[in-house]
Structure 1
Amino acid sequence: MSETCISEQAAPVSSNTAPPSVRSVYVATAAEAVKNWQQNRANRWYKDGADPNDLTGDYAFQRLRKTWFTPKLDPKFKFRSEDKFYAIGSCFARGLEWALAKHKIAVESAAPEFARLKVAAKHKASSGLGFINKYNTFSILNELRWALDPAAVFPVKSIAQVTECTWSDPHTNPTLELAGFEETLERRRLMQKVTKRIINCRAVIITLGLVEVWRDLEADVYINSTPVPPLLQTQGDRYEFRLTSFVDNWANLEAIHALMSRYGHPDFRIVITVSPVPLMTTFSKMDVVLANTYAKSLLRSVAQEWAAAHDNVDYFPSYEIVQNSDRAAAWESDLRHVRGAGADQIMELFLQAYLR
């Protein structure tokens, strides 16, 4: 079997692990709950008589008037400056990589091999690193399995022919020009080669993005992004759209944890976060704003429960930091992409919480 495990077979797409049954995320005695309340300076939204414009106050209605929202953070663990990092997930993960690299932190996922790839003309503002974005928990799990598990093999059948001489790997982000079959396979080998570097990383950041996913019925595998338009036009019956549930995403995260426990760094730590970047468009029947609210609410909830279930997983509130900061400061004019200052604010809080 080759290093990249490419074959005609499809890897399993999710585990059979069920979500917690009747289990609370956190349980405290009455005395412990009162102690929590007494010691938590950020425990209250509002109080009669408090000055709403006192930006030094601890009440939420005061803190939310600042340009940048700064949540109270209680990290479970700390990273070391010599730790290697690996970020996987949506486009927001690329911003986190860039900010970490600025602080001279080793980021294995920001591989120079990707940066050298030539992007398509319509994506000229992006770098080759955008090629590795993973937008849903199915595609994150798939990529880790194909790279780490010797029994998991990449389903070559899912690479679809678009024109007479171009092919599409739907498990990548389509930022590169479509290429011939052999070059497409070579990009796939590169993806799996770099992903395998996660085993050297004690620090793993997972950024969750979407709950709308597509499945290749012919290859029997979930894919990373919407099939390119020519495939939907000519092979539409091959693909199926799914709006996933809490159970779907919980099972995938549990399978990721099991995979990392077996093949990852012996002392790995995962920080999970939810990308504040909204989905560009929805294939559901919902208003795109409602569809985005559903997605982010579900992912925020499953991330919290997953972190509560494992001592080596922690939730970091990237989503809340951006959503509760001043809109003009946080967002580009499209209200979709986070400004550089926003990413800097997030990473400053991340570094304070986990590295300082």
Structure 2
Amino acid sequence: MEKISPYQGLEPRAFWRTGYQEGDYPPADLYRPKWALSKTDRIVTAGSCFAQHVGRALRKNGFTVLDAEPAPEGLAPERHGENGYGMYSARYGNIYTTRQLRQLMEEAWDGPRDFDAIWTKGGRFHDAMRPNVDPQGLDSAEAVKAARVKHLAAVKEVFSQADVFIFTLGLTEAWMHKPSGQVYAIAPGTVAGVYDPSVHGFVNFRAAEVRADLVAALARLKETNPKLRVLLTVSPVPLTATASGGHILAATTWSKSVLRAVAGELYEDFPEVDYFPSYEIVTSTRAGISFFEPNFRQVTEAGVARVMQVFTAAHLGAAAPETETEEKTRKRSEEERQARKAERQKAKKG
């Protein structure tokens, strides 16, 4: 039969009705890995807050996720997260922007920058590049500098050992130290420090800047680790706030669109870069709000599990954990939501 349309004969996944509207959700063949990932591959994780879920789920499913800065003995397990332990493959906290990632790679290989990177609060000292990893702060600026040197050595070591780097892109908005052009992890004054408009400036990175930063960061890594493979994801978690002047919904859409576009470009341009559609799975119209907590920001445990089931099924095949049905996932999300609602009501009564 003569082909009269370029869409004639394409796979069912290429069409909205057969690829998305009909059948189970998420679609079984939504994600086709560019390269294989085994449980023996040494994985490094980093990125925005959603990346924490990815790392935990990988460990739970038996993958080898490296940790260059484990919690010290004697620290209670419930305090690990608040002190930056066990979140990622090193104690760098959330890396929200590609500029942060690029800075981290440059510092790890070339040494820490000498700029306004130490904030104070209540007589305590905080690393402005990772202010949340020591919530109580340290005794002195010298202690912060020493801790950062040690941290950067761990970063360089763990990335040099990795087979796979999984990075979750989170935001395009950031706060910058104007004299040096370096960006902070969060806005000054949020955890520590004091906001000074003459020193601190807001920036919303454009697509070309995001791409340039990500390409530069990956190029630095591959100089030391030529066989490194990279898996990009985009966080489905909306912005908490925006300083862009726009509405938070529009600002979130802008930010995520830029990140998704750049991830798509790198997937097309670099054979070692793959993309996993966690953002699409959580935020699609079929998912609705079922994967989100009542605040429409945090992703539920059921939602994270659903995302990781798609990932593990693609990489482990028959060895992957059994996948929940769409109906069961929605039911579990609702049960989790009702349980949290009951806890809040009980707390109010108490």
**Would you call these one fold, judging by a TM-score over 0.5?**
yes
Pairs aligned (count): 305
Identity %: 25
Cα separation, 2, equivalents of 1:189 and 1:101? 28
SS of the residue 2:115 aligns to: helix
- 1:105 pairs, out of 58, 63, 67, with 63
Cα separation, 2, equivalents of 1:43 and 1:342? 25
Q: CA deviation at 1:166?
A: 2.0
2:149 is the alignment partner of 1:189: yes
Q: CA deviation at 1:88?
A: 1.1
Q: Stretches of 4+ moved more than 4 A in 1? A: 66-71, 114-121, 123-127
Partner of 1:321: 281
One-letter amino acid matched to 1:88: A
SS of the residue 1:86 aligns to: strand
SS of the residue 2:106 aligns to: helix
Aligned ranges for residues 272-351 of structure 1 at < 5 Å? 272-324=232-284, 325-351=286-312
- Which moved further from structure 2: 274-283 or 318-327? 318-327
- The 8 Å contact of residues 70 and 321 in structure 1, kept in 2 or not, is answered as no
Distance 1:185 1:284, change over 3 A: same
Cα separation, 2, equivalents of 1:237 and 1:168? 21
Gaps of 5+ in 2: 318-350
SS of the residue 2:16 aligns to: coil
2:204 is the alignment partner of 1:243: yes
Q: CA deviation at 1:335?
A: 1.0
One-letter amino acid matched to 2:137: L
Cα separation, 2, equivalents of 1:77 and 1:179? 43
Partner of 2:13: 42
One-letter amino acid matched to 1:231: G
Higher relative contact order (CA 8 A, sep 6+): 1
- The 8 Å contact of residues 86 and 107 in structure 1, kept in 2 or not, is answered as yes
Q: CA deviation at 1:170?
A: 2.1
SS of the residue 1:42 aligns to: helix
- 1:84 pairs, out of 31, 42, 53, with 42
One-letter amino acid matched to 2:16: W
Aligned ranges for residues 1-150 of structure 1 at < 5 Å? 34=6, 38-46=9-17, 58-63=18-23, 68=26, 72-109=30-67, 111-113=69-71, 128-129=85-86, 132-147=93-108, 149=109
- The 8 Å contact of residues 205 and 271 in structure 1, kept in 2 or not, is answered as yes
Q: CA deviation at 1:352?
A: 2.2
Cα separation, 1, equivalents of 2:101 and 2:76? 23
Distance 1:87 1:37, change over 3 A: farther
One-letter amino acid matched to 2:193: L
TM-score, normalised by the number of residues in structure 1: 0.77
* Structure 1 residues 68-105: Cα deviation after superposition (integer angstroms, max 9, x where no partner): 56562222110222111001111111111100111222
